[in-house]
Structure 1
Amino acid sequence: MNSIPSKQPVEPESSEEEAGEDVEELDGNEEEVDGEEVEVVSKKTFADLGVIESLCEACVNLGYKHPTPIQEQSIPLALEGKDIIGLAETGSGKTAAFVLPILQALMEKPQSLFGLVLAPTRELAYQISQQVEALGSLINVKCAVLVGGMDMVAQAIALGKKPHIVVATPGRLLDHLENTKGFSLKYLKYLVMDEADRLLDLDFGPILDKILKVLPREGRHTYLFSATMSSKVESLQRASLHNPIRVSISSSSHQVVSTLLQKYIFLPHKHKDLYLIYLLNDTIGHPVIIFTRTVNETQRIAILLRTLGFGAIPLHGQLSQSARLGALSKFKSRSRDIMVATDVAARGLDIPSVDLVINLDLPPDSKTYVHRVGRTARAGKSGKAVSFVTQYDLEIWLRIENALGKQIEEEDIPKDEAMVLMERVGDAQRVAIREMKDIHESRGKRRGFMNGGRGKRGRDEMDQEDG
């Protein structure tokens, strides 16, 4: 199998002039293609979509037997050279939907800095790069990752090696465009904005505007993927895509798969920890995600569980970059069975084979509920989601049920069996309180050394959520 050389592109006519121009707004007359529901499995193969043999082989090696609906709808259009707006949720296979056409075009006309993928978070950027390298493994594709919180010099060295694909968060990409000598994207052929709604929710809009102004307009193909089509996303589409075709896969924002068993537990707020431990005792050895609303609660629950002997690890937006990547790695490798997470983990993270989702704190709305429980019962497998409902949560729980269009069944937990655990759980709660106090004291000291706090958020800080 031939590998892709890092050949320098031939400079197109008037590219310098066009790179600095403002992009024209379109008239909004894009075509639209409606797809099937995400859980429908295609009978087609990737070869049927026009994917070349070496990339089909890579798909087989990764266990991709048939394309998902977003792949089936998007890939043929992308191979025809169309700009695409893909409306699909996390877990729909959208990454391969844009990576495969880019790699196929790269093989036909190889050059360095061929494609750019923008992602809202660092974890998602790393996951996309892993899929680029996996799908391009047979053709030796080189991929560089530019994210905040990592060494800029090392990233500049990686750029100097002329990668084919760059995956970046917007803030760090702009830093390199402005400060890294010799780095330019004026020959770029493919631009992808993944989770565009998330990019804009995190206030990357002004940075995206600056990036778009230095990218070539002529000869560039652009793909925009988003879970929703807000007015902000519409504006971004008009500013960056040329006569796009819209591919819509998610048929309902409140739809859950039929293989998901949903339950709730009605309980006093003071007994949430107790019932959580009772529930986890029945799921030892199975991967579980526990969702909380705050960073503090995520940390406290992780400490509580570890004190009681569970392999728990926290994930939230205030962890350092290395800690967040380490948490994901440990959970994926199953060295830790339980991840305690804020909603930063509910979107964009490729966490396979989760058997149980626990909403320890109810989400603020039905849309977030669907995102959370969507971490289980994937690809036709069964899964379970259990929500803790206290006396303070009744109104929001009724709204969630109303949006889902069904009443969720109550989980039967014998109260006397749960109460047997009270002494052990109480001891662990006291340990967690002491450790949380130490964490807050040490954080306060660090802030003192940093002149009283974080101040205004910089580009690197914008690459992560607050959790």
Structure 2
Amino acid sequence: MNSGEYQKFEELGLDQWLLKLCWKIDYKEPRPIQVLSIPPLLQGKNVLISSQTGSGKTAAFSFPILQTLSQDPYGIFAIILTANRELAVQIAEQIQIFGASVNLRLALLIGGLSSSKQVKLLGQIPHIIIGTPGRCAELLSIDVNFQKYIKNVKYFILDEVDRLLEPQIWDDIKKVYEQCESPQIALVSATLNNVTQQLKDEFANVNFVECINNPEQKVSETIKHKFVLMPDLVKDYYFIHLMKKLEGASTIVFAPTCRKCHELNELLNHFEIKSTCLHSMLPQHERIGNLRAYRSQKAQVLVATDVASRGLDIPNVKFVINWNVPKVEADYIHRVGRTGRAGRRGTAITMMTQFDVERVLAIENLITLKMEEIKFNEEKVLANMTDVTKAIKTIKIKMQQDGTTEKFIDLQKKKVRSKQKRKGSQEEQQS
């Protein structure tokens, strides 16, 4: 192999085995965020990494970790904490591939899986830990090996860090971070700009190199942004009409709640549109299985809550449908980032009612783009009104009978109580 083939990656300071890996996995040249962040990470600097979804951020922090580990291997060498279980699984799978040639030991520490098995993994002293903050903090409190070996951690990475700033989550992160004596830090997200100062305040004694790729361009140029305007009362009829038109195309539908996610998935399957779903009420083995079914194209549609909006790399997603307009504009960027990845083309379609105008305008202002309207003939949309209405009623009756509705109601009550408790705690601290 000609060394010229690796010339651009060589300029970043990567070792020969990583250059060969880049060629093997079809990384012909480094992406802009990798050019910005790999050198300072290799130089031992702390970094803030911000770039569009699908722009190669995982490799940007993984390659320096693996190169430094290969030169002086010990465990526990790096800890990577992220916003949700699915993203943790994905990062673990990617790093396992990247580090296959260096006998990498890796532990995945997430909720929903056996904690006793995870303790056994920690007993093998893994080089890299990838997990969610809650489970890592829990295991740290009970596992002596974890407490002992975490002190010498070289890299401390927070991925999708803007989603980790909720007080309860951040408390868990601090429990883990405070056990590390002097780690090198990387804070990573596609939407870092709004929380940069807050993060600097949290790490008050740390100097960061800002590795920010084209902050003005919030979303990929390969994504088309469209909306369908409809009265709120007939939203589900428009939804089924739209999904029938997209039948055969790989699609992710984002729903606002676990309950609505479940209902939309059932509705699509009723109309013989192969669909699966992903939300936090599902057991972890089902979440993993459903995501695999969608990735392997056994299901055409993945209906998901925002648990799937962060970082998941699923090739060839043609459409992202926002059943609801996100309340936080930055969430729109993460959702639509599931399509148009790595230069591919994609389309994001937002279902907009009379109550959503201001939020859509705010999103357009954030991404500095105007959405294009898709117009449907309402007569044609409502032609199947009777069938859709019957299907919705059947699904709701079934959910009531099998106890699913009650579970979602209990979840909502639990979330409200938790929110009230956090609010009360914050008010006490302020007073």
Q: TM-score, normalised by structure 2?
A: 0.86
Q: CA deviation at 1:402?
A: 4.0
Contact 2:52 2:219 in 1 (8 A): no
Q: CA deviation at 1:160?
A: 1.5
SS at 1:265 equivalent: strand
Contact 2:229 2:375 in 1 (8 A): no
SS at 1:110 equivalent: coil
Q: CA deviation at 1:145?
A: 0.8
**Residues 181-192 of structure 1: matches in 2 within 5 Å?**
181-183=144-146, 184=148, 185-192=150-157
Q: CA deviation at 1:423?
A: 3.2
407 and 115 in structure 1: CA distance in 2 versus 1, 3 angstrom threshold: closer
Q: CA deviation at 1:318?
A: 2.4
Instruction: Measure, in 1, the Cα distance between the counterparts of 2:409 and 2:368.
Output: 48
Residue of structure 1 in register with 2:159 after alignment: 194
Instruction: Measure, in 2, the Cα distance between the counterparts of 1:309 and 1:401.
Output: 34
Instruction: Measure, in 2, the Cα distance between the counterparts of 1:95 and 1:364.
Output: 27
426 and 132 in structure 1: CA distance in 2 versus 1, 3 angstrom threshold: same
Residue of structure 1 in register with 2:422 after alignment: none
SS at 1:310 equivalent: coil
Q: CA deviation at 1:316?
A: 1.9
Q: CA deviation at 1:72?
A: 0.9
Residue of structure 2 in register with 1:344 after alignment: 307
SS at 1:129 equivalent: helix
Q: CA deviation at 1:415?
A: 2.9
53 and 383 in structure 1: CA distance in 2 versus 1, 3 angstrom threshold: same
Contact 2:312 2:338 in 1 (8 A): no
Residue of structure 1 in register with 2:213 after alignment: 249
- Which structure would you say has the larger RCO, counting Cα contacts within 8 Å and 6 or more residues apart? 1
Residue of structure 2 in register with 1:321 after alignment: 284
Contact 1:58 1:136 in 2 (8 A): no
Q: CA deviation at 1:304?
A: 0.6
Instruction: Measure, in 1, the Cα distance between the counterparts of 2:23 and 2:383.
Output: 50
Instruction: Measure, in 2, the Cα distance between the counterparts of 1:456 and 1:390.
Output: 30
User: Which of the numbers 37, 45, 57 marks the counterpart of 1:82?
Assistant: 45
Residue of structure 2 in register with 1:384 after alignment: 347
In structure 1, stretches of 5+ residues that fail to align are 1-42, 458-467
177 and 399 in structure 1: CA distance in 2 versus 1, 3 angstrom threshold: closer
44 and 201 in structure 1: CA distance in 2 versus 1, 3 angstrom threshold: farther
Instruction: Measure, in 2, the Cα distance between the counterparts of 1:365 and 1:178.
Output: 34
1:148-197 CA-to-partner distances (Å, cap 9, x unmatched) read: 22212111111122221111222222222221133321222222122222
**Residues 286-301 of structure 1: matches in 2 within 5 Å?**
286-301=249-264
Residue of structure 2 in register with 1:20 after alignment: none
**Residues 136-155 of structure 1: matches in 2 within 5 Å?**
136-155=99-118
Instruction: Measure, in 1, the Cα distance between the counterparts of 2:87 and 2:78.
Output: 17
Contact 2:53 2:219 in 1 (8 A): no
- The range that moved more, 84-93 or 149-158, is 84-93
- How much is the aligned-residue C-alpha RMSD, in angstroms? 2.6
Instruction: Measure, in 1, the Cα distance between the counterparts of 2:341 and 2:416.
Output: 41
Contact 2:399 2:405 in 1 (8 A): no
In structure 2, stretches of 5+ residues that fail to align are 1-5, 419-431
SS at 1:186 equivalent: helix
Q: Which amino acid aligns with 1:216?
A: E
Q: Matched residues, percent identical? A: 34
Q: CA deviation at 1:257?
A: 2.8
SS at 1:223 equivalent: strand
User: Which of the numbers 213, 229, 233 marks the counterpart of 2:178?
Assistant: 213
1:46-90 CA-to-partner distances (Å, cap 9, x unmatched) read: 233121122222223323222221111111111222222212343
Q: Which amino acid aligns with 2:23?
A: V
Residue of structure 2 in register with 1:284 after alignment: 247
405 and 106 in structure 1: CA distance in 2 versus 1, 3 angstrom threshold: closer
1:236-277 CA-to-partner distances (Å, cap 9, x unmatched) read: 3325x4x3311112513x733332222221222232222222
Residue of structure 2 in register with 1:156 after alignment: 119
Q: CA deviation at 1:132?
A: 1.1
Q: CA deviation at 1:134?
A: 0.6
Contact 2:227 2:350 in 1 (8 A): yes
